[in-house]
């Protein structure tokens, strides 16, 4: 976030219903990601919209996982607004997963940092790679792996981590859907010493599988409505139940209710893949 000059400011983490969200802009996130990628240091990042916040709010174990990640950035406009309403933090924009992914790819191209794409389907990955290599001709994609859409065995998890390490990737972009991708980032962060970035529906959007909401709807915080109208059967419960609960709970926090940020340490790995 810029504040009267060229310096990028990171305001640290603030509780939104018990989930600790970093008050950052794109530039601050990219700076953290590229520094960690160059030095091959671990960095677990997730771009969270309302649905992601609510998974942590309603599930103590998921809240623990989210609050163990290194960066949780405000993907949705309502999350950015919540930082303003609750903590008087005025971010210039949200940190939208698809745009963040493109910026990461642009910097990876410039710095010669290979990337690995994990998640979605083979068809989506193929179309995504075609688009990325067209847009960033020198981008090095050293590996892709589609989701198995089930839990991984311990052996599969170990093999996957080994394959990613052997690929030479300096950035791993993950799209498994919320909350699976955040669980994945939490569980693999110790085994992969490079940035892991959970980017939500970015693979589907950037590959053209799913249409993105018009810019005006995104700016007004109505992207959820566009997606609900596009996929009502799949998304009605997420948006029609969780959105009002989010707003009501934010109001309670504004009135002084404190929500637990500690969560509960998971008893065992879920091993999503």
What does the pLDDT look like over 135-155, one tens digit per residue?
A: 999 999 999 999 988 888 889
Instruction: Report pLDDT for 221.
Output: 84
Domain covering 13-207 in this structure, CATH number: 3.40.50
Model pLDDT for residues 43-83, shown as the tens digit of each residue? 999 999 999 999 999 999 999 999 999 999 999 999 999 99
248 burial type by CB count under 10 A (0-12 exposed, 13-18 middle, 19+ buried): exposed
Q: Tokens standing for 89?
A: 């933090």
Instruction: Report pLDDT for 12.
Output: 85
Instruction: Report pLDDT for 1.
Output: 38
Low-confidence ranges of the chain (pLDDT < 50): 1-10
Instruction: Report pLDDT for 8.
Output: 35
Structural domain spans, the chain:
13-207
Is residue 76 within 8 A of residue 48, CB to CB? The reply is: yes
Instruction: Report pLDDT for 211.
Output: 81
Instruction: Report pLDDT for 9.
Output: 36
Is residue 261 within 8 A of residue 14, CB to CB? The reply is: no
Q: Tokens standing for 114?
A: 């290979």
Instruction: Report pLDDT for 44.
Output: 97
Q: Tokens standing for 149?
A: 């859409």
Instruction: Report pLDDT for 264.
Output: 93
């Amino acid at each position: 976030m810029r504040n009267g000059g060229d310096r990028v400011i990171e305001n640290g983490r603030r509780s939104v219903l018990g989930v600790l969200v970093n008050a950052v802009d794109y530039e601050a996130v990219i700076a953290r990601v590229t520094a960690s990628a160059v030095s091959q240091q671990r960095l677990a990042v997730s771009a969270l919209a309302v649905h992601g916040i609510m998974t942590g709010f309603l599930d103590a174990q998921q809240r623990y996982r989210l609050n163990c990640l290194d960066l949780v950035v405000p993907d949705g406009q309502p999350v950015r607004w919540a930082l303003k309403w609750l903590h008087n933090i005025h971010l210039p924009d949200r940190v939208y997963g698809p745009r963040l992914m493109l910026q990461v790819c642009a910097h990876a191209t410039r710095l010669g940092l290979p990337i690995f794409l994990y998640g979605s389907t083979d068809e989506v990955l193929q179309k995504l790679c075609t688009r990325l290599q067209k847009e960033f001709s020198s981008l090095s994609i050293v590996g892709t792996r589609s989701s198995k859409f089930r839990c991984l065995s311990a052996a599969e998890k170990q093999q996957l981590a080994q394959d990613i390490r052997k690929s030479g990737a300096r950035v791993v972009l993950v799209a498994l859907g919320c909350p699976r991708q955040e669980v994945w980032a939490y569980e693999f962060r110790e085994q992969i010493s490079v940035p892991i970035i959970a980017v939500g529906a970015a693979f589907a959007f950037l590959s053209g599988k799913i249409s993105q909401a018009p810019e005006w709807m995104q700016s007004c915080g109505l992207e959820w409505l566009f997606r609900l109208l596009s996929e009502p059967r799949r998304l009605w419960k997420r948006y029609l139940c969780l959105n009002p609960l989010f707003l009501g709970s934010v109001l309670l926090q504004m009135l002084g209710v404190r929500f637990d940020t500690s969560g509960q340490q998971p008893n065992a790995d879920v091993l999503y893949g």
